[in-house]
Structure 1
Amino acid sequence: MASTQGAAKVLVASNRGPVSYTVAADGSLNAKRGGGGLVSGLSAIGSDADALWVCSALSDGDREAVRRGVAGAGRGGVRMLDIPAEVHSDAYNGIANSVLWFVHHMLYQTPLEPVFDAEFRRRWASYETYNRAFAEALAEEAAPGAAVVVQDYHLTLVPGMLRELRPDLRIGHFSHTPWAPPEYFRMLPDDVAGQVLRGMLGADRLGFLTRRWADAFEACCDRFAGGLGGTRVGVHGLGADADFLRARSREADVVERMTALKGEIGAAPDGSARRTIVRVDRTELSKNIARGLLAYRQLLDDHPEWRERVTHVAFAYPSRQDLAVYRDYTAEVQRLAEEINSRYGTPGWTPVVLHVEDDFARSLAAYRLADVALVNPIRDGMNLVAKEVPVVSDEGCALVLSREAGAFEELGEDAIAVNPYDVVGTARALHEALSMGPEERAERSKRLAASATALPPAQWFLDQLHALEEGDAGQSA
């Protein structure tokens, strides 16, 4: 039991917080506020709600802010934890992103990986230490009976640890990723799989993005943990923030990027506007960018009539470049784009316009120009790009959507479905999307936008909070 109790009545815990710090040349600290559903959600509950965000110090600037007392003691509604950098690296890169992410997205090349050796065990001990630091901070800061909402696969052990320290709290956990089916989840060492499930089941309530992921979790519990116990499970399909996206996409920097992109895309030989296939992703292994490029190449082979009449605008923003497998994947994406441009390009046409520098304004510009949005992940918890493009697209867009994206559950009826592994099938879907008449495209896009914005970020968070607060405080798995 924690020796002290704080005053916070609503607490959020996540690896990344709502603010980040940098140290200026003169030694002063500069703070940059983040965005996203959680930030919107906390602001929606009001400043008088005694809310606190517990997160990890991720940069030298963050750690300096903690040392100066700016971010280490709940000031401004944020408490950053200065967890040793090597512990954080082991937990975040060594376990969360290299093991749990791979399991839930079913990414392993199983003839060679995973290998759960002594090094894995050392990193797992760091993951435990990392989770314990969060649990202890939450226990210290939470008021009696407070509501705590823990976020994602980085912190699967926190609910169980926190339950032991503060049985009075109402504890929730939300998973932003898919959940692996039992046959894949059991790849984890038995004791580690048990720890993950018991950690999650320390919560009163667990949230998932789709019913499919919730069902997979329940199946794992039935198989390996004797059921859910007293833990409740709910589904909250995070939607796009339509008001923000529409307003932001009309700002001057986005209009400027649109002009530049139109220049890169150019016009067809007959002077008409070229059609655009747009994708915006991080170079994350699960996003399937490489097969998307292969499908576009197949389209140009199968339907030469599209040559010089269509451009693939592909934004592949760097992700986890400190992991070699991600660096290799990014290099392969660039190689494929160069190969397609070399093979099919003409003096007046660049088939693939590839950008790898993160630029949100340019992403919104591409959304507005999209005739077709290509979203073909191998496996994805939700995929907000699939929801954002129809909201922003100027003329309406056709959506080519993987059936393995969480968003397919809500958008599949008005999208063109693809098997993400089937390059020929995806090329066929791209042709269908490009051939779609403007009226049908606009109608589909309108319906997609309505579905995509059904649960905007602020309401998504508040729905979870209300569902947690309606349950019995202190309920234990």
Structure 2
Amino acid sequence: MASTHGAAVQGARGAQVLVASNRGPVSYAVREDGSLHARRGGGGLVSGLSAIGPDAGALWVCSALSDGDREAVRRGVGESGVRMLDIPADVHADAYNGIANSVLWFVHHLLYQTPLEPVFDAEFRRRWASYETYNRAFAQALAEEAADGAAVLVQDYHLCLVPGMLRELRPDLRIGHFSHTPWAPVDYFGLLPGDIRAQLLNGMLGADRLGFLTRRWADAFTACCTEFTAGLGSTEVGVHGLGADGDFLRARSHEPDVEERMAGLREEIGTAPDGSARKAIVRVDRTELSKNIARGLLAYRQFLDDHPEWHERVVHVAFAYPSRQDLAVYREYTAEVQRVAAEINERYATPGWTPVVLHVKDDFARSLAAYRLADVALVNPIRDGMNLVAKEVPLVSDEGCALVLSREAGAYWELGDDAIVVNPYDVLETARALHEALTMRPEERAERTKRLVAAATALPPAQWFLEQLQALRELQPNRPS
């Protein structure tokens, strides 16, 4: 383990602002000729770091996720402002899939079938040791790279232990952590073994400041601290509701590849028997268990049962992009989504009408094309930290759209007044909401869309990041007493 003294010496000439996340802003692939191809990503953190400027002394610490990434680290290939950690692949797999995605994600999204799971056995403990090792690697790298008094922004459930570990190594730093997921209520968080609960909470409380997407998730964390530890102590809790990047989305959605995808989608949707354009109910999700895609399809089927007058006049455009297919439960869920969609089409389709247009291959341009064509956006997660799709579709839609929104999405707290709100478990209610959305008067839809867009863009990604950074810099470091 890096010593505190050694880290401080390095820190004297290190980075002033550091971000730590599992996935970084760049990934690498090995070409057939052995050369490395770099691909840059996007998102709120990329926008935020760009906003502070190239002279801010910023560094992004992330994990090597692929063979190409690991090869880049071994060859010493990298980009300025990025440090990629070559954590052993088996350790990363146990930490990422074995703990972060199979335990912490399930706890915070209330996904367990409790008669059968979770089972905290010896295999869980072995994987937990990898999660500790993974977090420690990040803490050591941050300690080595940070300048004296630097600001460190740690991201998400993959790295819950980092703040506490980093605090021990570098008490001079200002440490923040942001949770992009919900936080579990006390009773559900209590499913975890007592020592694991304590490690997670105390790891988080090593930060000077913790950020959450909604007050609901922040309050849930505070309640867990009250129940299972001595409370928040000197750690501050803040709420920052990540918004949509309006300027980027508006520009990107009118580029030629999106126009091309729109033509293809219009052809798939087709026209009604009277020659009018069919209405489009649009959803765009990963096949993540919490997104509730299967119940959304069942609600659409119920809507078709209840309203035969809409047959051949509406199409459900459903994009369900594969997620975490290395986990069996996700593969099974993806298969179930495909099965329900096929069953609806088999039951209702006519020679000129396919009720469900389902795509499972990720295509960002096609997603934006669907946004533009949407008459109704269906966003019905059983639990979601925020859900940016709910903010993006009204922003991009050409004619404005009605939003059917789950009360369990973080976005509900910002958009609920102008959405049609549903209980995500209630298929009948969701079917009624789809009908209400499709029959909404154009004037009302336009007014609601205008207000949805204003709320959706209230805190765009760059401002979201800078707001957290400013709040962290204004605090005195959370030094051990």
TM-score (normalizing by structure 2):
0.98
Residue-pair matches, total: 474
Q: Which residue of 1 aligns with 2:233?
A: 229
1:293 to 297, 318, 340: 297
Q: Which residue of 2 aligns with 1:19?
A: 26
Asked if the contact 1:175–1:207 (Cα under 8 Å) also holds between the matched residues in 2, the reply is: yes
**AA at the equivalent of 1:235:** V
Please give the secondary structure, in 2, of the residue aligned with 1:269. Answer: coil
1:208 to 212, 218, 225: 212
Deviation of 1:27 after TM superposition, in Å, equals: 1.7
Q: Which residue of 1 aligns with 2:251?
A: 247
Separation in 1, partners of 2:477, 2:470? 13
Asked if the contact 1:231–1:476 (Cα under 8 Å) also holds between the matched residues in 2, the reply is: no
Please give the secondary structure, in 2, of the residue aligned with 1:180. Answer: coil
Asked if the contact 2:253–2:368 (Cα under 8 Å) also holds between the matched residues in 1, the reply is: yes
Deviation of 1:438 after TM superposition, in Å, equals: 1.1
Asked if the contact 1:206–1:233 (Cα under 8 Å) also holds between the matched residues in 2, the reply is: yes
Separation in 2, partners of 1:215, 1:475? 24
Q: Deviations over 1:157-213 (max 9, x none)?
A: 000000000000000000000000001000000000100000000000000000000
Query: In terms of mean alpha carbon deviation, does 438-447 or 396-405 score higher?
Result: 438-447
Separation in 2, partners of 1:442, 1:396? 6
Separation in 2, partners of 1:474, 1:423? 47
Q: Does 1:381 align with 2:385?
A: yes
1:458 to 432, 440, 462: 462
Structure 2 runs not aligned, ≥5 long: none
Q: Which structure 2 residues correspond to residues 300-319 of structure 1 after superposition, within 5 A?
A: 300-319=304-323
Deviation of 1:25 after TM superposition, in Å, equals: 1.8
Deviation of 1:475 after TM superposition, in Å, equals: 3.7
Separation in 2, partners of 1:306, 1:467? 51
Separation in 1, partners of 2:67, 2:148? 34
Q: Which residue of 2 aligns with 1:346?
A: 350
Please give the secondary structure, in 1, of the residue aligned with 2:176. Answer: strand
Q: Which residue of 2 aligns with 1:190?
A: 194
Separation in 2, partners of 1:442, 1:275? 16
Please give the secondary structure, in 1, of the residue aligned with 2:230. Answer: coil
Deviation of 1:121 after TM superposition, in Å, equals: 0.3
Q: Which residue of 1 aligns with 2:411?
A: 407
Assess, with a 3 A threshold, how the Cα gap between structure 1 residues 432 and 65 changes in structure 2: closer, same or farther: same
**AA at the equivalent of 1:14:** S
**AA at the equivalent of 1:344:** Y
Deviation of 1:473 after TM superposition, in Å, equals: 2.3
Please give the secondary structure, in 1, of the residue aligned with 2:53. Answer: coil
Separation in 2, partners of 1:54, 1:474? 22
- Quote the RMSD (CA, aligned, Å): 0.8
Asked if the contact 2:63–2:87 (Cα under 8 Å) also holds between the matched residues in 1, the reply is: yes
Q: Which residue of 1 aligns with 2:473?
A: 469
Q: Does 1:133 align with 2:140?
A: no
Q: Does 1:372 align with 2:379?
A: no
Please give the secondary structure, in 1, of the residue aligned with 2:76. Answer: coil
Q: Which residue of 2 aligns with 1:428?
A: 432
TM-score (normalizing by structure 1):
0.99
Asked if the contact 2:162–2:203 (Cα under 8 Å) also holds between the matched residues in 1, the reply is: yes
Q: Which residue of 2 aligns with 1:41?
A: 48
Asked if the contact 2:234–2:478 (Cα under 8 Å) also holds between the matched residues in 1, the reply is: no
Deviation of 1:382 after TM superposition, in Å, equals: 0.1
Q: Deviations over 1:318-352 (max 9, x none)?
A: 00000000000000000000000000000000000
Separation in 2, partners of 1:369, 1:102? 34
Structure 1 runs not aligned, ≥5 long: none
2:444 to 422, 440, 444: 440
Separation in 2, partners of 1:70, 1:334? 41
